[in-house]
Structure 1
Amino acid sequence: MIRYILPFLCLFCIFLAEEDLKHVKHAVLDKNTKIVFWGTRHGNRNPTQFLKEVIDKKSQTWGFEGDSELTKFGKRQAFGLGAELRKYLSGYLDDNYLAPEAKFFSSSASRCQMTLQLALAGLYPPKTFATWKPNINWTPVPYTIDDPMLRMYAIKCPKSDKVWEPISHDLLPELKEQLTRHKALLDYMHKNTGWNASLANAADLADNLLEIQYYKAAYPEWIKNVRLPGYKNSEELIKAYMSFMESHQIACAVYEPCRRMMSGYWLNTILDVIKNVKSGKKSPKVIGYASHTEITLALMKALFVEKEELTTTAGFVLEVRDKPEWSVRVLNHDPIEFDNHVIYKSKYEPIMARKADNDGWVKYDDFVRFVTPHSIKDWRRECGTTSCEL
């Protein structure tokens, strides 16, 4: 049975989780590491659609970047990720970007590209020969846009459309149950916004409420003065709406056909690189990726990491070493507030945990045997198209 857990995302819970992360033991790069992969969800972004109160020209205080675009908070998160990666990779990766050492990839979404650019600014503050203007502590770093790997649903892919259909239309049993259980909440949203009473729109409302809290802006009147039976105050109402955040994206990562379609080609790419490294072929020392919840979380689940939601700029670090024997471990990385970040030990699903040592290392052969069934070698064939059109 597919296990579906809708994330409990209110600011109290976010801050509580961040407080816990402050006391998490930071992972340390193994001295025998041969290659490091890292992947991240984009940083904090604006909602896909704004509440009318938010974009009222007379009172607007946030959202000027446009819908779905990276916010100033997302920019800080992304830079913090890069700075933490610099600490983690210290002594392993050159201080300055060197083409043979590193490759980076992003989805075509501007929020992902900007997240990657800012993470690379934190990873590669220019030193010595890379300094080109003394008062600008930044240098350009090249990256490649790869939607088949990092945003499959954005390309021409009939199979992707098919696996998304029961999610987009709230047809999965778990999503239907949410619609029924929260009918009063969804109807109240519809009455006050004019938006259809769907989970996707409820997720957009949650995004609006989160940004309102971050920007310390005013809540709409219907949120401040609750007129919905069962909710005593605005705090209870906001907490309930926050539970819809990223509901479809998380449903995709949980629903196996969607999970495999979104992450399988990315997983295969990583496996191919590891195989090359193990065989002695010339490879980068670091490869980084910026993608989305439904892609990054799907990959982490395919790697048997226990994870039910993914906050902005959270993701994974995958490390490969050759001694005492070829082995792989997957770490988590998460933001702490906006400017700090932590890389720490993952909790594996039981099947992988039984094969891991105390530091999370899994023998290469076991790792490959477990994850390969979730990979996709030929994405065009899997999509059901032979066209070169993206």
Structure 2
Amino acid sequence: MQQHYDLGTYLRQRYSGFLNDSYNRHEVYVRSTDFDRTLMSAQANLAALFPPADKEIWKPSLKWQPIPVHTTPLSQEQLLVLPYVNCPRFNELQQDTMASKEFKSLLEPYQDFIKNLSQETGYSVAALTGGKLWAVYDTLLCEDKHNFTLPNWVTPDVRTKLQKLSEFIFLSMFGLSNQVEKSKLQGGVLVKTILKNITDATTPSNLQKLIIYSAMKRFFQHDSTIGALQMALGVSDGNLPPYAACHFFELHQEENGQYSIEMFYRNDSLKEPYVLTLPGCASPCPLQKFTELVSPIIVQDWAAECGITNKNNEGVFTGLALMVGFLGLAVIIMGSFLCYFVIQKRRNYQNI
């Protein structure tokens, strides 16, 4: 919670003069996945982002004000919890990847290690290489962060190998082979929603400045949402996102009236976010060019491309996507991953 509170403090400083000092429901929208952790992360962040002042102070001894955090039941969540598991075509692509020479060659040097890990954890080798490696690494990392005593077999070498293997699993999940098609079925769905919000924000009548999404993958402390998004955009560094990592999207209006997008990634609280450059377009990237470059990962009929025949599943996904699209301006994803999209004019913070 402290990390997200600190992140909220940083955002208040970064966007001072752009965001109102006080919370304005017409400018800010916050949505979280329906996990206690992500809901709490969003609330901690907002406590620092919008501390009460003047008439907002309703209890002098408590420098906090309630700000709405919206959510949707996990059974209906089809945007923020990635990977989307109810996609038959994606599951086929995953099986193809795991059977590929590339994937097997990555795991080959670790075969003995995985067998030993199977004995220590009780997971089968197939379960570990199918994703449980990531879960084991996450669990041990979380226990270490909270000063729990780790099992004797968890040596520094074991932790290093677990991290490397977890990165392999992450890579194979969203890339390694068939990356464009995987992205269309996974991170590209989120890119499509963000891009629509960005485009909507160029209209003068749109008042929204900031949307916050607080998200994480079930059973994973590291967030797969930011991983899927960055793999889809071609800006992933291959590392697992740390706690309170943050991907920013900023829409700027240049002096000539044209719009451009800048992306930043904050994965270290001691350093300023570093610029992310969309392949094929220097930063800042003109909005039209950005739209053209991401078009290969934008799916028009997700259910059809996934091979879903159950109309109920299709209806839930399509309806939710349309509802989110009407939100308008800013998207923020929090939890292990915080994604901010903000509008501002170049050289100064003004309404567009």
Per the normalisation by structure 2, the TM-score is 0.73
| Secondary structure of the corresponding residue to residue 31 of structure 2 | strand
**1:364 corresponding residue in structure 2:** 287
**2:336 corresponding residue in structure 1:** none
- Per-residue CA shift, 1:80-118, capped at 9, x if unaligned? 222211111111111222111011222333333332222
**1:348 corresponding residue in structure 2:** 277
Q: Select the residue among 108, 113, 127 that pairs with 1:180.
A: 108
- Whether 1:82 aligns to 2:8 is yes
- Per-residue CA shift, 1:277-317, capped at 9, x if unaligned? 22334241111222233322222233342432222221311
> Following superposition of structure 1 onto structure 2, how do residues 47-66 of structure 1 map, counting pairs within 5 Å?
none
**2:138 corresponding residue in structure 1:** 207
**1:111 corresponding residue in structure 2:** 37
When the two structures are aligned, how many residues end up with a matched partner? Answer: 294
| Secondary structure of the corresponding residue to residue 346 of structure 1 | strand
Find the aligned partners of 1:329 and 1:152 in 2 and give their Cα distance: 24
- Per-residue CA shift, 1:154-193, capped at 9, x if unaligned? 67544454445556xx435443334432111111112223
> Following superposition of structure 1 onto structure 2, how do residues 238-277 of structure 1 map, counting pairs within 5 Å?
238-245=159-166, 247-254=168-175, 255-277=179-201
| Secondary structure of the corresponding residue to residue 351 of structure 1 | coil
Q: Select the residue among 257, 261, 267 that pairs with 1:334.
A: 267
> Following superposition of structure 1 onto structure 2, how do residues 1-390 of structure 1 map, counting pairs within 5 Å?
75-145=1-71, 147-151=77-81, 153=83, 156-166=86-96, 170-197=98-125, 198-199=128-129, 200-223=131-154, 234-245=155-166, 247-254=168-175, 255-292=179-216, 293-309=223-239, 310-324=241-255, 325-336=258-269, 342-348=271-277, 350-352=279-281, 356=282, 360-383=283-306, 384-385=308-309, 386-387=311-312, 388-389=315-316
Find the aligned partners of 1:99 and 1:155 in 2 and give their Cα distance: 33
* Structure 2: segments with no counterpart, 5+ residues: 217-222, 318-352
| Secondary structure of the corresponding residue to residue 149 of structure 1 | coil
The change in CA–CA distance for 1:206 and 1:99 in structure 2 (over 3 A counts) is same
Identity %: 22
Moved more, 118-127 or 240-249: 240-249
- Per-residue CA shift, 1:171-222, capped at 9, x if unaligned? 3544333443211111111222322222333323322332343233333233
| Secondary structure of the corresponding residue to residue 278 of structure 1 | coil
**1:41 corresponding residue in structure 2:** none
Backbone CA RMSD of aligned residues: 2.7
* Structure 1: segments with no counterpart, 5+ residues: 1-74, 224-233
| Secondary structure of the corresponding residue to residue 367 of structure 1 | helix
User: Do the aligned residues in 2 keep the contact of 1:253 with 1:295 (CA within 8 Å)?
Assistant: no
What is the identity, as a one-letter code, of the residue corresponding to 1:286?
L
Superposed displacement of residue 138, structure 1: 2.4
Per the normalisation by structure 1, the TM-score is 0.67
What is the identity, as a one-letter code, of the residue corresponding to 2:261?
V
Q: Which has the higher contact order (CA 8 A, sep 6+)?
A: 1
